[in-house]
Structure 1
């Protein structure tokens, strides 16, 4: 064999014995192209073939090695023909059942033959049975040795058997013996963070010894697994810190507020800012005045007043002679911001721009000209804002709402729209979806964080009840009583299908049925298929109390503030995530009246759905709900696929490995400070092509 290059990330899998073009192609489907890839392709689980379990001690649904003597053999004819062997040891008897068997097999499996078998015991017609177990004969003079290591079970693909992957991994380990994988964690840092050498971890995980802690290996918390998870989390964390460094190495305009304009803005508000709003506004103001780009995430529960804080930041940009852009993920949320910013800023003589994908060609040209000339000082829009032909006169501040609906690279594209002087705009990211601490530490490591943790005075907690669809008539009667007492109600329809047309049809049918059941009430309807003006008209009528009951799809997740609405019915809430349910519920409880939310579920509910609805019933704290949402659904669901699409972990798990994050943060800072050259190598090893998102 030729001398192997030292870097296993440069050695193709074709260097392994028996790997030709076809097999290399199959391995490529699993992302395995080099020996390093193969070594990082870790087992999903392990089988314990290192000890024999007495038949009398077997438990159902457990993999086990058993030994015994065949006492009886029969071909049984039921719905399917099967070969049935009764195997007995000194402690008990079990059944081996083969649905596919040959004549030769039947001839060898005869009474008196001793076998060692491996398989999963399951409950069957004759007690515990093994279906198609692996087996070997024990009739030789010498006893067959048991395995001395656990047997790995790898992620596989069509045409790749477990035996083949095990054999290749075993070969790769021999390469590792001759050329240890490059250790990218410096020894001083490894000792400080209590991390084992990488090569030791890989050898152990591909072939754990018989006395290994199987329970910890199975749940991913074994120290050797944690060593790899740590380095992978470190790579992701470093990529975001490097992104932050790159951004802040560039200049940004120094934006200072105009005290007179600031005072005028606050004097027109019919309320006082909360202490939390004032604190977060000060944090933003301190960032904006610096000549380096602000990168700040503002979290706040539904109704905590994030939009007002964003408007104050936009006012500071305008006062300093710059433009501000507000980007929202949906047209209805963008419309909401346009209404709010217009009501607050236009009386001060500040002109607003508006840019979405639905504008006519003529209207779009007009808006683009207003942005390029600087006539529009503040612009509100959707992702249309970061399209190539959009130019700003001097963009100083970018405000992005519900960041988790956008990918990191989309946020960076809007950053590119900086002023023509080459300065980068400041970035303010907002979310009403509270982000669990573990996700914020990993997915938003490039951002400083502010939390608006106080609701405006006068907001009443919403009482939530969970009721079966079978009690629908009672719920309709409850809506009737609330509206007769002068209050208003929402009725929200949900659909599994991601189809606005089907959702609209469901909402229309529900509105017709409710209008027939409640002829004395004025029933309105709003859904995503309506034109913007129609939607606005219906919402305005509801706000003006010209409608008693508003039937809607989830488009009212963000909507106008209607303090008189004190009751919300959400149909099939089990179809929505906790964060979305919490957002919807935030539409009520905005006045001084006691408010209620009814979760009208369809039976039967899965165990997870019952748990999720119980969380909604028991808590109104957005951060508590977000933590439970993370536990129940995982980070991909909570953050949204666009965000986590750039955070695909091979080994790490944000929930399971949350306790590693403080050490990951500390390690990343130390590496950047002491060993900057190693940072690139760690990111390259774990992120590969995904690093393109961080090279903007």
Structure 2
């Protein structure tokens, strides 16, 4: 059925086909997998007198009067009265002359819509309706599906097309791509039964189970979709194993010198991760390892040791970060550690133009630059390495999967690829990592270095702003430093956020004698660097900033952070910002200066950030509140968008889906391509091998 075009259905001409194509629907199979977003219970008629505000209901009555009102918006008003004497007004803002003429007094209508309070009486705005030939009280059997739509396609059109597709399904039977040995142990229905139940829910179906996607039919499709993703990622992993990579053992001399020079000992967790990475890089197959670590857990020094292993073996290293600010922070850290070893990192960013850029590109291509730090600029075709052995990608979730796949092209040689170390300071819950990163090995730094002070987090309403300012004054007079984080640069009435520039002005007036600095994303890099350097050197007491300081600033003497409008930020970002303090031995505090009233989700979010300092625990809670798409951000979700499955709701299906994927790849290779095409289609970016 996947090859049967939608044009083969009745009433699907070029215009309807074009509208369906906007939603990615080109075949009858696509139509079958276009599932309802919700269901309406039209199984019983509700007397008009029993209607409740805000509810959706099926009603029936006679047209008492119909007229066209010519107010601010021209509308058709239809007064409907039922057998019990109840009255309601139907209002149409978009109507035709024929429609108005058909709604004559005495016409029997059956309507479905949302009950609203109008100026005079209860109303339904643009209800679905049909003319009844006789006064019967029978309603529609079962639940009525509501489909995601686009302009020009009404629900009646969708239901008519789906009915035709279901009839064809009964005759042609789409291929059930999950073998019986895979689906049987899960106790789930077959594909046709699941699709039929979702498009035509039986009378006994639970509306709650359908809406929350717990119905066995939804679970069946979610399991198939998760299996398709696992098949795709596992196929990529198998392909990776067929690609060669340079063996990067090294003699250990540079690593030993760096460890001896560090003013601290590696934690047990850091040591374990270093050994895992070293073992991977010593193999002739490309390392694909995801390194997770909480804020301040010491991922950068682990990356530096991995880089030194590649350099010892005579190969180049590239370190990529999503922003210039973060890449500059890495550059500073690496210079401090590696210059004494005779290694000068080279920086390549978008700001480098003309002759300067050409010289840097030549240094990379000739191999003179052994360690290159940069941004997305390193992905560009003009960047050519002589012998790239290791690529380190920081904050992987801000890059697409296809971008890290593109790194393979940065190494000369047929079938060869550099080793890849992918780092994130945004802890990804294990359930999500198993689903999204099945092509990667996972390393976790699950302990903070000794000497990190605890951070006490307190939520304070902005009505107590003066008290907070006094607290900043007290902390700075005691020799400490503080951050004041704003969420916007310029005034915005709509968001009601205090702008950083205005805040800095007010704090300079309110805190005479304190040295106040300001950084935001619109400052020139040289100006921003100068302010940050002054703050790090202790020449500023208070740094007013936007969220640009989420990464890139490490000041052990800073022990107080104020975050304005924290209710506008996600848990992961709040945790990242809070991690800028608590880097010394003194107890640190984070004050969340919120604007009341808070929504229920905002209250819950602030409660979590106050109660927990574990990034992994916070990530799990954030995932449960906001879902995978929002937690990961739009850059990544373009590659891993799920249509039916949800990594949080369907966690229990992840392990069985992995087992199913392994079985399909080994015993049913003929199902691999159709399964991926059905669920990922053109979005199978993982398959660029």
Q: TM-score, normalised on structure 2?
A: 0.92
1:367 and 2:365 matched: no
Q: Structure 1 residue 655: deviation in Å?
A: 2.8
How far apart in 1 are the matches of 2:346 and 2:498?
A: 33
Q: Structure 1 residue 564: deviation in Å?
A: 0.8
Q: Secondary structure at the residue paired with 2:310?
A: helix
Q: 1:663 aligns with which of 637, 645, 656?
A: 656
In structure 2, relative to structure 1, the CA distance for the partners of 1:144 and 1:290 (3 Å cut) is same
Q: Structure 1 residue 378: deviation in Å?
A: 1.4
Match in the other structure for 1:534: 527
1:593 and 2:591 matched: no
1:258-293, Cα deviation, whole Å (9 max, x unpaired): 233322211100011111101111111121111111
Match in the other structure for 1:98: 90
How far apart in 2 are the matches of 1:83 and 1:695?
A: 58
Q: Secondary structure at the residue paired with 1:204?
A: helix
Q: 1:396·1:419 contact (CA, 8 Å) conserved in 2?
A: no
1:651-685, Cα deviation, whole Å (9 max, x unpaired): 22333323221221111111112212211110011
In structure 2, relative to structure 1, the CA distance for the partners of 1:133 and 1:293 (3 Å cut) is closer
Q: Which runs of 5+ in 2 are unaligned?
A: 93-98
How far apart in 2 are the matches of 1:529 and 1:84?
A: 58
1:230 and 2:228 matched: no
1:654 and 2:634 matched: no
Deviates more, 1:129-138 or 1:183-192: 129-138
Q: 2:388 aligns with which of 371, 395, 398?
A: 395
Q: 1:347 aligns with which of 330, 340, 349?
A: 340
Structure 2 counterparts to residues 247-286 of structure 1, below 5 A: 247-286=240-279
Q: Structure 1 residue 608: deviation in Å?
A: 2.3
How far apart in 2 are the matches of 1:402 and 1:628?
A: 20
Instruction: Give the paired residue count.
Output: 678
1:365-421, Cα deviation, whole Å (9 max, x unpaired): 222222222222211111111211212121111100000111111111123212557
Q: Secondary structure at the residue paired with 1:566?
A: strand
1:87 and 2:93 matched: no
How far apart in 1 are the matches of 2:222 and 2:368?
A: 51
Q: Structure 1 residue 533: deviation in Å?
A: 3.3
How far apart in 2 are the matches of 1:432 and 1:585?
A: 13
1:456-501, Cα deviation, whole Å (9 max, x unpaired): 11111211111222222211111101000111111112128899xx
Q: Secondary structure at the residue paired with 1:667?
A: helix
Match in the other structure for 1:313: 306
Q: 1:87·1:96 contact (CA, 8 Å) conserved in 2?
A: no
1:573 and 2:599 matched: no
Q: 1:489·1:567 contact (CA, 8 Å) conserved in 2?
A: yes
How far apart in 1 are the matches of 2:155 and 2:38?
A: 12
Q: 1:96·1:131 contact (CA, 8 Å) conserved in 2?
A: no
Q: Structure 1 residue 236: deviation in Å?
A: 1.9
How far apart in 2 are the matches of 1:366 and 1:73?
A: 81
1:30 and 2:28 matched: no
Q: Secondary structure at the residue paired with 2:57?
A: strand
Q: 2:427 aligns with which of 421, 424, 434?
A: 434
Q: 1:676 aligns with which of 666, 669, 672?
A: 669
How far apart in 1 are the matches of 2:26 and 2:490?
A: 38
Match in the other structure for 1:108: 106
Q: Structure 1 residue 131: deviation in Å?
A: 5.7
Deviates more, 1:605-614 or 1:425-434: 605-614
Match in the other structure for 2:288: 295
Q: TM-score, normalised on structure 1?
A: 0.91
Match in the other structure for 1:337: 330
Q: 2:627 aligns with which of 617, 621, 634?
A: 634
1:645 and 2:638 matched: yes
How far apart in 2 are the matches of 1:638 and 1:413?
A: 24
In structure 2, relative to structure 1, the CA distance for the partners of 1:339 and 1:69 (3 Å cut) is closer
1:426-485, Cα deviation, whole Å (9 max, x unpaired): 110000001122321222121111110100111112111112222222111111010001
1:61-104, Cα deviation, whole Å (9 max, x unpaired): 3333456899x889999989955444355xxx643223459576
Match in the other structure for 1:5: none
Q: 2:37·2:148 contact (CA, 8 Å) conserved in 1?
A: yes
In structure 2, relative to structure 1, the CA distance for the partners of 1:130 and 1:388 (3 Å cut) is closer
Match in the other structure for 2:510: 517
Deviates more, 1:59-68 or 1:185-194: 59-68
Q: Secondary structure at the residue paired with 1:646?
A: helix
Match in the other structure for 1:16: 9
Q: Structure 1 residue 327: deviation in Å?
A: 0.4
1:473 and 2:463 matched: no
How far apart in 1 are the matches of 2:224 and 2:593?
A: 45
Q: 1:331·1:356 contact (CA, 8 Å) conserved in 2?
A: yes
In structure 2, relative to structure 1, the CA distance for the partners of 1:662 and 1:497 (3 Å cut) is farther
In structure 2, relative to structure 1, the CA distance for the partners of 1:135 and 1:382 (3 Å cut) is closer
Match in the other structure for 1:605: 598
Q: 2:484 aligns with which of 472, 482, 491?
A: 491
In structure 2, relative to structure 1, the CA distance for the partners of 1:560 and 1:144 (3 Å cut) is closer
Q: 1:393·1:420 contact (CA, 8 Å) conserved in 2?
A: no
How far apart in 2 are the matches of 1:368 and 1:276?
A: 37
In structure 2, relative to structure 1, the CA distance for the partners of 1:94 and 1:465 (3 Å cut) is farther
Q: 1:398·1:425 contact (CA, 8 Å) conserved in 2?
A: yes
How far apart in 1 are the matches of 2:367 and 2:128?
A: 75
Q: 2:90·2:125 contact (CA, 8 Å) conserved in 1?
A: yes
In structure 2, relative to structure 1, the CA distance for the partners of 1:162 and 1:548 (3 Å cut) is same
Q: Structure 1 residue 194: deviation in Å?
A: 2.8
Deviates more, 1:587-596 or 1:354-363: 354-363
In structure 2, relative to structure 1, the CA distance for the partners of 1:211 and 1:51 (3 Å cut) is farther
Superposition CA RMSD, Å: 2.9
Deviates more, 1:401-410 or 1:532-541: 532-541
How far apart in 1 are the matches of 2:165 and 2:208?
A: 26
Q: Structure 1 residue 226: deviation in Å?
A: 1.5
1:386 and 2:384 matched: no
Deviates more, 1:616-625 or 1:420-429: 420-429
Q: 1:503·1:553 contact (CA, 8 Å) conserved in 2?
A: no
How far apart in 1 are the matches of 2:128 and 2:301?
A: 67
